[in-house]
Structures are given as structure tokens and as C-alpha cells.
Structure 1
Amino acid sequence: MLNSTCCTCPHLERKNVVFVTVYSVVFIFGLTLNVTALVIFFRNSKSQSHTTTYMVHLAFADVLLVCMLPVRIYFHMESGDLPQKLCDFTGLIMLSNMYGSILLLTCISFDRCIAVCFPLSSRVREGRKKAWCMCLGIWILTIGTSLPIYFKKEQNNSTTEQTNVTCFGNFPSYATQTAALISTLIIGFGIPLTVMIISSWGLVRAISKSTAVQTSDLVDSGKIKRMIITNLAIFLFCFLPYHVMLVLLYAYKTTQTRCSLLTPYQYSLMVACLNAMLDPLAYYFTTETFQRKKMGVETTTVRKIWQTNSHSSDGNNRSRAPLTM
């Protein structure tokens, strides 16, 4: 287990300025965009799709995450000491909602994929109606795994010298334990990443082979593919560095190396928080919920094209996929 001895990081003033600036931007824009998304979703609650259910929970998770950032901003401004209990609580809330966001993003990607690739399957339609069950399971999983970590940290802090406790300046000792790291890499990142890659590939393949897309001048298939690829790229950009740093912290045991890796680890966590600000831009505003008023005619026309192609086929051609998700 990594100890909690603190390191004196070089270029502390510059590091603090960067953290304060980035966290402030994420807090302001992340809170504004996600609250706006929630308002729009609830106003259009009668016309919500199954994918929108995941997006509502994703927006709520992102709101909870960004609401924890003011504590980090205060810490990096060196405005004074903070209670370690407050630091531990806000840190675990942020991490639990980060993994909640990862799992919800995975569900969104998978839901879109099966909706497009298997539009005529009754089993798929019935399965998609269970979106609220998946969201409930994700909340139970993330909260259930966070609470034991919090109480264990409380016990460790009560038996550790207070000079070794510096709020967010400690090493992620629990996250770099073997069992916790393996479960995090597999369940929290590896499986979601695999599902997102397969789902993105399935979506791109379905759109490329869709007769409705290829024969319609109303739909820009290239734009849709770029949106899918951009979503996957944002996912990798935000979450891959953080998990790579966890592996490096686990692999290198010497105190000097740990000290040199602490600053990159903190930067990787900062980058992961950017996802709360990018989610609304990458997902919400590319869905039918946000485009209905300005693209109502286009959406209706595309749906008719799809229905015409579907009824004219033998019912087994799954490549003619609808564009509304």
C-alpha cells in the first residue's frame, strides 16, 4: 500500500494557478450546461427517448461532480487549511460520480448502437425500456463502493499523524491497492471502453450501410460519423490519463518516484473532470431532444425515409438503420 507521506512538488505556484483556473472554468461551464440540459430534458419529459433517461442521470451526476470542485479550488488557492473529513468526502463524491458518468456514457453508446443496428427487434425495444433499472443499478454500484472507502479512510486518518494528512495532497493509497486497482481498471474503465469502441464501430458500420442515409440528401452521414468518433475521443482524452497514472503509481514503489508522479496524477484527475463540461456539448445537443424545434421537418422526413425502406425490405436487413435515437 502506498503511504500517505506528502511530497514537496516543484513549481507549486504555477501548478496552483493552473488548477484554480481549470477547475473554475469546469465549475462555471459544467454547472451551467448541465443544469440547462436538465431543465430542457424535464420540459420535454413527455417526449423523452430511452437514451434520454441515461442523459438525465448523466447530467445529474455531472452536476454533483462539479459541485465538489469549489473545495478543490479553495485548496489550490492556498486559502487555508481544510478539514480532512471534508476533503475525503468531496473527493469520494467526485470520483464516484466520475465513474457513474463513465458507466452512463457507456450505456448511452450501447443504447444508441442497438437502437440503430436492431431497429426491428422486439427484444431490443423491450430491453431499452429498462433504462431506469440500469441507471438505478449504476447509482447503487457507485455509492455502494464509495461508502466503504470513505469509512476506511476515516479509520486510517484517526490512527495517522495529522502532519501526514494534507487534504488533496496525499497519494491515492486505496485506489492503488492491488484488488481496488484491478477492479477499477476492469469494471470502471476497461469494460466500458471496450463496449464504447464496439458500439462506436457498430454505429459507424450501420450508418455506412444504411440505405436511408446513403439515398437521402437530408442527412450528413459524415457529420454523424464525426460525432461518434468525437465522443469516443473525448472519452479517451478525459479518462485514459487518470487510469494510466494509477497504474504507474502502483508500479513504482520508491518514494522519490512517487513524489515525481504525484503532480502528473493530479493533472490527470483535473483532465478527467473536464468530461463534466464536455458531456453536454458531445451528447445532449446532438440528440433529437435538443434538435426537434430547429430540425423538426428534417427529423420527420428522415423517419419517413427509414420507414419506407424498412417496409419495402424483407424484414431481415438490419443495415437500414434509423437516425433518431
Structure 2
Amino acid sequence: MLNGTEPSTRSTEYAVVFGVVVMLGLPLNAASLWILCTRMSLKSCNVIFMVNLALADLLLVISLPARVYYHATGAWPLGNMACIWFMMLLRNNIRSSSIFITFISVDRLIAVVCPLRSRHLRTASNAWKAVALAWVFVLAVNIPESLKLKQFLYSTNESRCYEYTKDLKGSKFRYFQPVLVLTLLAVNIVSTVLVSLTLRTRLNDSARVKNKVNIMLIFFMNLMMFAVCFVPVSMFVFFNCDSHCRTPLIWLASMNCCLDPLLYYFSFDGFWKRKEDVDTSGAREE
């Protein structure tokens, strides 16, 4: 049973930085989810993807107070199963957030490149199907991974949650997350390049400068999210990285729940207020 009484597990600095994530992420994502569900149309693909992104972030945030307590006291009173659940919530957030951010990028790509021909694809029904498949995929990975993690925690002599010094060596899941994140990053890079080229050729008039800047900000923020939050923590399996270098990477990964609301802001301000105008312009250009 985990007891986590070793004094070396205490870290006031980690308790503070994770506490800041909780204080920022909880109200930001709760407010974002409320605005998305009450003020925005759930018939829009992008809103559907953002609702699920905010939900994934909120699930991560509500799990972080346990980590704050752990780093502040050096004790883990909740047992192995709770430790597994909280650790899986972080992994699920990285996977689900990277998937939903990629959905947003691909949706914007299709909307900009072929606004008329894509209307039969960019429907609420298809968006919900994609979201459901994403959640099923993420949760399906949990089953064997949680069993392997449970086996590891119960067999190790270490008694500290979050502080295991090896990442399931020999497990087939060892390289799953970096491959997934790098693949989705490649999709975001290609989407960004294609949208940038399309905006240069189709939206050159001065009236469209603000829209163009805001649309590109969405793509650059998506890339920044991968570069800062998802890629570093996913790549530590390739290096000899113990808990002392892993915890800062996990903190960086958890910061995505504080940065995602900026993505919603730029989407609302730069795109949704002019959605009908943009679609009409795209129809005329087609």
C-alpha cells in the first residue's frame, strides 16, 4: 500500500507551481465550458471540439489538488488505485487534448481551403462521432495500461505515488504516447502550412487582415501547445529521465489547461463573430 512517508517526496516548489495551475485552470476552464455550452451553438464543429477540450482540461485540473497535497506533505494517503486514477487522468489529458486540438486544426483547414465542398463533412453529427471515437480510443488504451501500471505499483518496493523511477520498461506502451503526439504534431504542422498558403492567395484584401491574423494565431497556438506541453513530457521515454526531471515536464504538460482558454478567446473574437461573413466570402470566391 502506498503511504508516501519519505521526507524526500516533499517539495514546496512543486506544490506551489501545481497549485497555481489549479487556481488558474479551474475557473478558466469552468467559465469556458459554461460559455461554450450556453452562449455558443453546439451545431458548430469547432464548438463541439472545444467543449470536449475544456472537459478534458477540467478533468485534469480537479485531479491536481491531490498532487499539490502530495508535494506539500510528502504523504499519499489515498492508496494505489487512487494513484493509478490520477496518473491516468494526466496521460488521458495529453492524449485527448492533442487529439481535440488536431481536430480543431483540421476543421479550420477544411473550412479555409474548401468552405463549400466541406459543408457536408463539417456537420455536428460528424463532429460528435469523431469526439466519441476519440474518447473510446483514449479510454480503451487505459485498460491494458492501467493493468500494467497496477502490476508495477504493487510489485515495486517504492511507496511513493508519482515518483516511480522507471516508465514501465519493456511495456509495449512505452513508445505509444510519443508516436501519437509526434504524429498529431505533424498533422498540425501540415495544416498550418496549407492554411497559411491559402490565406495568402485568397484573403489578401485589407478588410480580411484581422481575420487572417486571428485564424493564424489559432494554428500557431496549437503548435505552441504541442511544442511546450505535449512533446517534452512524451519524449522522456527516450532519455534516462528520473522523477527529478520528469516532474517539471509534467508541470509543463498540465499548463495546457491554462493556455487552452486563450485558444477559445481567439476563436470567438477572430472567427465566430464573423462566421457568416467568412462563409459568404468563401462561397463567393468558390
Q: TM-score, normalised by structure 2?
A: 0.86
Query: Does the Cα contact within 8 Å between 1:58 and 1:104 map onto a contact in 2?
Result: yes
Cα-to-partner distance string for 1:217-236 (whole Å, 9 max, x where unaligned): 35323454344223312321
Structure 1 gaps of 5+ residues are 1-5, 250-257, 316-325
Aligned-partner Cα distance in 2 for 1:139–1:78: 34
Find the counterpart in structure 1 of residue 251 from structure 2. 270
2:70 to 53, 62, 75: 75
Find the counterpart in structure 2 of residue 153 from structure 1. 149
**1:58 is the counterpart of 2:53:** yes
**1:17 is the counterpart of 2:12:** yes
Query: Does the Cα contact within 8 Å between 1:84 and 1:165 map onto a contact in 2?
Result: no
1:101 to 88, 97, 100: 97
| Aligned pairs (5 A) from 1:167-182 | 167-174=161-168, 176-177=169-170, 179-182=172-175
Query: Does the Cα contact within 8 Å between 2:25 and 2:257 map onto a contact in 1?
Result: yes
Aligned-partner Cα distance in 1 for 2:42–2:97: 23
Aligned-partner Cα distance in 1 for 2:277–2:122: 24
Cα-to-partner distance string for 1:99-122 (whole Å, 9 max, x where unaligned): 11111111111111111111121x
Structure 2 gaps of 5+ residues are none
Stretch moving more, 74-83 or 97-106: 74-83
Residue 306 of structure 1, CA deviation: 4.1
Residue 166 of structure 1, CA deviation: 0.9
Backbone CA RMSD of aligned residues: 2.7
**1:87 is the counterpart of 2:83:** yes
Residue 21 of structure 1, CA deviation: 1.7
Cα-to-partner distance string for 1:170-200 (whole Å, 9 max, x where unaligned): 13522x54521232222x2121011010011
Aligned-partner Cα distance in 2 for 1:47–1:182: 35
Cα gap change, 1:305 to 1:275, in 2 (>3 Å): same
Find the counterpart in structure 2 of residue 183 from structure 1. 176
Identity rate, percent: 24
Find the counterpart in structure 2 of residue 49 from structure 1. 44
**1:205 is the counterpart of 2:186:** no
Cα gap change, 1:192 to 1:299, in 2 (>3 Å): closer
Cα gap change, 1:223 to 1:96, in 2 (>3 Å): closer
Query: Does the Cα contact within 8 Å between 1:117 and 1:206 map onto a contact in 2?
Result: yes
Aligned-partner Cα distance in 2 for 1:299–1:109: 16
**1:228 is the counterpart of 2:219:** yes
| Aligned pairs (5 A) from 1:240-251 | 240-249=231-240
Q: TM-score, normalised by structure 1?
A: 0.77
Cα gap change, 1:208 to 1:172, in 2 (>3 Å): farther
The letter of the residue matching 1:234 is M
Report how many aligned residue pairs link the two structures. 278
Residue 42 of structure 1, CA deviation: 1.3
Query: Does the Cα contact within 8 Å between 1:84 and 1:166 map onto a contact in 2?
Result: no
**1:284 is the counterpart of 2:264:** yes
Aligned-partner Cα distance in 1 for 2:33–2:12: 31
2:188 to 187, 196, 201: 196
Q: Which has the larger radius of gyration?
A: 1
Aligned-partner Cα distance in 2 for 1:179–1:268: 22
Cα-to-partner distance string for 1:107-164 (whole Å, 9 max, x where unaligned): 111111111111121xx32222211111111111111111222233333444444xx2
1:219 to 180, 196, 209: 209
Residue 291 of structure 1, CA deviation: 6.4
Residue 205 of structure 1, CA deviation: 1.2
Query: Does the Cα contact within 8 Å between 1:106 and 1:195 map onto a contact in 2?
Result: yes
